[in-house]
């Protein structure tokens, strides 16, 4: 994983946690049931901004870039296992010893 992928992963985690925290605060607020939906969103700007940011990140495709490298590595390891080899997360080939048959 390169530095950009790590930054994208951290950004997604931080925004997700902030959205979850904002959601909790929004749901436990007793005024949420008493006012209109848009007024409730206006009263909870942290939640609103986090939701908009999270939706924007997903539309930008951040979820694809975060999981793409792990999917590729897993597929490579599956194919390489048939040839008694493997690879690490950086893509280096690992040769395994052949089982000795007598």
Question: What pLDDT, in 10s, does the model give residues 64-87?
Answer: 766 666 777 777 778 888 888 877
Distance CA 100, CA 54 (A): 53
Q: How many residues does the chain have?
A: 102
Structural domain of residue 90, as residue ranges?
1-95
The model's pTM is 0.61
Confirm if 96 and 86 have CB atoms less than 8 A apart. Answer: yes
> Does a structural domain hold residue 26?
yes
Nearest to 46 by CA among 77, 71, 18: 18
Instruction: Categorize the per-residue pLDDT at 35 as very low, low, confident or very high, splitting at 50, 70 and 90.
Output: very high
Note the pLDDT of residue 69: 67
> Does a structural domain hold residue 102?
no
Nearest to 76 by CA among 65, 63, 61, 90: 90
- Under DSSP, is residue 67 helix (H, G, I), strand (E, B) or coil? helix
> Does a structural domain hold residue 101?
no
Instruction: Categorize the per-residue pLDDT at 16 as very low, low, confident or very high, splitting at 50, 70 and 90.
Output: very high
Share of residues in the chain with pLDDT > 70 (%): 83
Residue 50: Cβ within 10 Å count = 21
- Under DSSP, is residue 65 helix (H, G, I), strand (E, B) or coil? helix
Note the pLDDT of residue 18: 94
> Does a structural domain hold residue 67?
yes
Domain total in the chain: 1
> Does a structural domain hold residue 16?
yes
């Amino acid at each position: 994983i390169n530095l950009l992928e790590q930054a994208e992963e951290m950004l997604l985690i931080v925004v997700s946690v902030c959205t979850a925290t904002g959601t909790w605060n929004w749901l436990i607020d007793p005024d949420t049931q008493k006012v209109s939906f848009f007024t409730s969103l206006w009263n909870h700007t942290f939640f609103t901004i986090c939701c908009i940011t999270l939706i924007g990140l997903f539309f930008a495709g951040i979820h694809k870039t975060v999981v793409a490298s792990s999917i590729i590595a897993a597929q490579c390891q599956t194919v390489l296992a048939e040839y008694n080899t493997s690879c690490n997360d950086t893509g280096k080939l690992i040769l395994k010893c052949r089982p000795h048959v007598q």
